[in-house]
Structure formats: structure tokens, C-alpha cells
Structure 1
Amino acid sequence: MKAVVLDAFGDPQCLVPRHIADPQDRPGWVTVELRAAALNWHDVLVRRGRYRSPLPHVPGADGAGIRTDTGTEVVILPSLFWGDRTDAPASGFEILGDRIPGTYAHYVSVPEECLAPKPAVYSWEEAAALPLVGVTTYRALVSRAGLGAGESLLIIGAGGGVATMALALGRAVGAQVFVTASTPDKLDRARAAGAAGGVLHTAPDWPEQIRERSSGGTGFDVVLDPVGLWDRSLRALRPGGRLVVLGANVAERADMDVRAFFFGQYSLLGTTMGGPADFRGLLGLVADGEVPPPPIARVFPLDEAAEAHRLIEAGEAFGKIVLRP
């Protein structure tokens, strides 16, 4: 089969298309003929060697396609070996494309429990773009932060996959959603997608600027930080608010005022990708028509995976980047 193979860690040019052996059948696993594979920042970290993937390796977490055994159209949950608990994954948890060969290929093999019917109203590209970012965001906002109708949500960094999905899910549960963005264009796109307002986070006082736009100027019930700006994000919370964090691509360390934190009665919630229960909850919202399809920024042929990685690293795309095998 044709696949994109990583022979060494490094720049996008390390992603090389070539032919490799098809996946082998094994009990409890299903081979899927892929129709689309979506990119995530996680894929960039795999390419750079963060997860010490075995080489040579096929990256890619997200995908949608057709089961080769039944012909059913499916979407893939890239959360492998989650375990029985819902509060945190088991010790053997990993993401598809970390060590198990991923979706940058014509075929991929996954545990049968990681397959769900493709949402009928979604295209192949939209379906492929849903799982990782969708289940991650659902877990962050619903399972962890408990965001509910009538509450306010601030999303840090409009334009990325998590932020775009968070805007859709926040509105789906009845919250009023605000955003920060790096460019006026991303801010305009977020407003067009339903954001109540926002500010550019290029100014040093952006937490105070956006806080003034909250109800009564007291701050937001929930702040979603997918980039690692905890110390600044905290300044936009209302007393007693919840800061839910799930990424560190801008900063991996944060200095926080401990005394101000506990006097503010804040909650700091760490989260990563969700499991099967989160996926069921997400697909329930999708089936009810509450979640619009993820916006697609651009679609590349599988052979152009390196160029797709350059685009995601540039941080200029609004929406998901997709490969078409």
C-alpha cells in the first residue's frame, strides 16, 4: 500500500511517500481503507520525536474510511487501550500514530472498539477531522469542566483545530463563547462562526481586555487554554471559575501566583484526549445536529504530507488540514 513513512525525526521533509506492506489481520482488530486523514499538532510532535515512535513509522491519528470486512463507513477513535475508568486513561493508553502505525496511508488497522459509524451528514474530510480534536474538546469542556447552558466560555487561540471545535461545542451546549486570536482575520472568522466577541492576544493586556467583555466584567466561567498560557489565561477567569488546559505548543512552563490562585477559588483542570465514553457523548451531539462539521482549511494529496505539515506549523490556517489517500 502507499503510505507516508517517517525514517528519521526532524523537519517536514522527513515525511516520505512510499509503498509498504498492508496491515496484517489479527483478532479484535479491523483494517480500514482510508478515505481521508486529518492532521493534528500531535502529528508534528510525533514527527519531531517527542513520543519516540519506532522507526520507520507511519504517523497520523485521525482518519475515516471503510471497514474492509463489512464495507461499513466508519470514523476512527485514535484513543487506544483507554481502559475501564472514565476519570483517566489506563497506563497502557496511547494515541494511534504514536507507536502503532497511523492514518497517513491507504489502510490502517485499529481495535474494533475504536470504530464508530461515520456521521451521515459529514463528508469524508469532515469526518476524518472530527475524532481527535472532537473527543479531546468534548472531554475538556463537558466531561472535565462541566460547561453548561447559560455559562460563559473563553477560548484561547481561535483558528486551531481544538479552538474551532470548542467554539462549536460551546455553542452546542448553550454557552456564550468568546475567543482570543493572533490576527484580525481569525477573529472575524470566529465571530462569523458564532463567537460573541473577542480580542487579539498580541497585546500584553489582552486578559484584561477580554475580561471587560465578560458579563459584568467579572471574568469567564470557563477558560479553555490549549496552548500553555496558564498565567495569563487565569487573569480572565471569574472568581471560582475553571481553567481547563490541554496543550503546550506556545509555552511548556507557567509562573503562577499561588496565593492569588487559592484566594480566587479557581479550579485548574488538566486533560488530554478522551476515551470511548467521551466519543459516545460527542457523537450523540453530532447525531442530534448540534455540532456543525469541522471547517476544513485545506486538503492535500497523501504524497504532499510534508507540505501539509509546513502549513500546520505556520499556524495560519483556520480549520483542519486534511490528507486524501
Structure 2
Amino acid sequence: MKAMMLREIGETSQLKLEEVETPKPDSGEVVIKLKAAALNRRDLMVLHGQYPGIKLPAIPGSDGAGEIVAVGNEINNISTGDKVIINPGLNWGNDMNKKRADFTILGVPSNGTYAQYVKVPAENVYPKPSHLSWEEAAALPLAGLTAYRAMVTKGKVTKGENVLIPGVGGGVATYLVQFASALGANVYVTSSKEEKINKAKDFGATEGVNYTAENWTEELENLTGGIDLSVDSIAGEMFKTLISLGKIGSRIVSFGATRGPVPNLILPTMTVKEISVIGSTMGSPQDFADMVDFVEKHEIHPILDKTYSLEEAPEALARMEKGENFGKIVLSIPQD
């Protein structure tokens, strides 16, 4: 099969298209012929050696959708020809509230979805939502799961609440907007680009502000009257702004820190306001099943940025690294 192989840590050019052996399923596993795959920021972190547990050579990629072509022993509820999407979270365990210590994500150290075929545990495949194209289905799993657990399972968003999503544009952020909007929340976003704010308003955001503008915090506070729930992947100085904007008894869910730790965090403000800070990452198998049901019920379509061929994965990753994308970047997988 054709696959994008990573043999050395480095730049996007380290990914090379190679002919490798097609996987065969062991007991409890299935092999999927992929129709499409999708990029995640995790792929860039792996490429640059910034992710724990990297073992090379390996095929990157966590997201994918396709058809079952081979089924291992002891599997009764999956057949060849089934159209599926992949839950990329491996070894979560039986406790839906917390993952096991050996939890990992598909795509380095295990071979991932930048390939024509991928082998995964049978418990990690779910029927593809019928209203989604292959590209949309491939774009759903990791970012959709992360957003659902952060917004719904951990954030417990409710109708009429004011929700803030800083830095709209990436895949997870677009799902956060869609999920909160579908549940009747008032969704506010920030970005350094007016174009991204306007796009977010097209699919559910109530309003947004440009954080490069002077007094943008005051503008946002005047717009909202205060925030009930912030869902953040930025941290850094931005996190202190989330605290200042939060209402008494509000929540902040953090699932990342692209701008690093929070400097000089003033805890008394958070204490006086009784703000809850909640950590979140990926999600449990139950979260994934609930997320897929939610997407089907509300007929949500992932926001796609641009589709590249499999061999163009380096260019696709470069686009994501520069922050040029709005929504998910997808790879179209060759079928022969």
C-alpha cells in the first residue's frame, strides 16, 4: 500500500510517500481501506519531536474514514463493506471519567491514517454518519471528540449561557462553536482576523471581537455582560482575561496551552468569583458515541478548509503550521 512514512524527526519534508506492507488484522482487530484522512496539530508535534512516546519509523495520522476490508477473529458485529469512522483514542479503559495510564492516540507510535489502509481495534470503529461525505467523516473524530468532551461532558453547557471560544479557526474551535450553538448557547469568539470572526458567525457564533484591537476585553464584556463558560486551548496571558470576563460561578475548561503557561496568575480573583477550572483532553468511548449521535441528531457538517492528495501531506501540514486554515484540512486517499 501507499503511505506517508516518517523516519526522522524534523520538518514537514521528512514525510515521504512509500510502498509498505498492507496490514493484516489480529484477533479483535479490523483493517480499513481509507477514503480520506484529516490533519491534527498533534501530527505537527510528532513531526517536530514535541510529543511523548514517539517511536519511528511510523505512519502519522489519527483521523480517518473508510470501508472495512478485513476482520479478525472474535468479532461478530462488524462486517467487510461496513462504512466506518475511527475513534483515535486507544486504551481508554472502563472508567469513562478518566483514561488509563497507557492511553495513547492512533498515529505514532502505532501506524496511523496517512495511508491507504489502517489496522485498529474493532472497538474503535463506529458507523459513518450517513449525512457526511467521506471528507467530512474523516475530519470529525479527534477534534469532534475533544470539543464534545470539553464543551458538553466537562463544560456542561446549557441553553442561554454565554460561551467564549478564544482563537477561533482551528478544527476543535469550529466544532466548539457548532456544538454550543446547537445546544442554544450564545457563542462568542475571538481572533486576530476579521475574516475568521465572520466565518464563525456564519455557522453559529453570535458575535466576535478582534483581540489585536485596543480595549477588546472591554468590548467583549459590553457585548456579553460576562461569560458563563470559556473553553480554551491558548492559555498564556489570555487565561487571565478569561478569569476577568467570567461571571461569579462560571467555568473555564482548558484543553491546551499553545501560548504556554499562565504567568503571574492572580488566584484571589478566581477565588472571589468562585470560578471552576477544569482540565479536558480527547474523550472516552462513551463521549465518542455520544458525539457521533449528537452530530447526526443536529445534522452538523464539519467545517472543511482544504483537501490535499495523500502525497501532498507535507504542504498540508505547512498550511496548518502557519495558521492559514479555517476548519479541518483533509487528505484524499488514493484507491489504487
Q: Same fold (TM over 0.5)?
A: yes
Residues 38 and 254 from structure 1, CA distance in 2 versus in 1: closer, same or farther, beyond 3 angstroms? Answer: farther
In the alignment, the residues of structure 1 paired with residue 60 and residue 264 of structure 2 have an alpha-carbon distance, to the nearest angstrom, of 34
Matched with 1:139 is 149
Matched with 1:152 is 162
- Amino acid of the residue matched to residue 268 of structure 1? V
- Amino acid of the residue matched to residue 163 of structure 1? A
Aligned residues: 321
Matched with 2:302 is 294
Deviation by residue 1:150-191 (Cα, 9 ceiling, x = unmatched) = 211111111111110001100111111111012011011111
Q: CA RMSD in A?
A: 1.3
In the alignment, the residues of structure 1 paired with residue 321 and residue 100 of structure 2 have an alpha-carbon distance, to the nearest angstrom, of 31
1:94-173 correspondence to structure 2 within 5 Å: 94-173=104-183
Matched with 2:33 is 33
How far the C-alpha of 1:255 sits from its partner, in A, is: 3.2
Matched with 1:311 is 319
Structure 2: runs of 5+ lacking an equivalent:
71-79
Matched with 2:270 is 261
Matched with 1:16 is 16
- Amino acid of the residue matched to residue 206 of structure 1? W
Residues 17 and 254 from structure 1, CA distance in 2 versus in 1: closer, same or farther, beyond 3 angstroms? Answer: farther
1:199 pairs with 2:206? no
Matched with 1:220 is 227
1:234 pairs with 2:235? no
- Amino acid of the residue matched to residue 220 of structure 1? I
Matched with 1:274 is 283
1:29-108 correspondence to structure 2 within 5 Å: 29-51=29-51, 52-69=53-70, 70-108=80-118
How far the C-alpha of 1:252 sits from its partner, in A, is: 3.9
Give yes or no for contact 1:81–1:90 (8 Å, CA) kept in 2.
yes
Comparing 202-211 with 143-152, greater Cα deviation is found at 202-211
Report the TM-score when normalising by structure 2.
0.93
Report the TM-score when normalising by structure 1.
0.96
1:184 pairs with 2:194? yes
In the alignment, the residues of structure 2 paired with residue 43 and residue 27 of structure 1 have an alpha-carbon distance, to the nearest angstrom, of 28
In the alignment, the residues of structure 2 paired with residue 204 and residue 101 of structure 1 have an alpha-carbon distance, to the nearest angstrom, of 47
How far the C-alpha of 1:253 sits from its partner, in A, is: 4.1
In the alignment, the residues of structure 2 paired with residue 210 and residue 74 of structure 1 have an alpha-carbon distance, to the nearest angstrom, of 41
Deviation by residue 1:259-305 (Cα, 9 ceiling, x = unmatched) = 111111000011000011001111111221x1421111100000010
In the alignment, the residues of structure 2 paired with residue 255 and residue 284 of structure 1 have an alpha-carbon distance, to the nearest angstrom, of 42
Give yes or no for contact 2:131–2:299 (8 Å, CA) kept in 1.
no
How far the C-alpha of 1:254 sits from its partner, in A, is: 3.9
Give yes or no for contact 1:168–1:291 (8 Å, CA) kept in 2.
no
Deviation by residue 1:55-85 (Cα, 9 ceiling, x = unmatched) = 1111100000001131100000001000011
In the alignment, the residues of structure 2 paired with residue 103 and residue 301 of structure 1 have an alpha-carbon distance, to the nearest angstrom, of 13
Matched with 1:248 is 257
Structure 1: runs of 5+ lacking an equivalent:
none
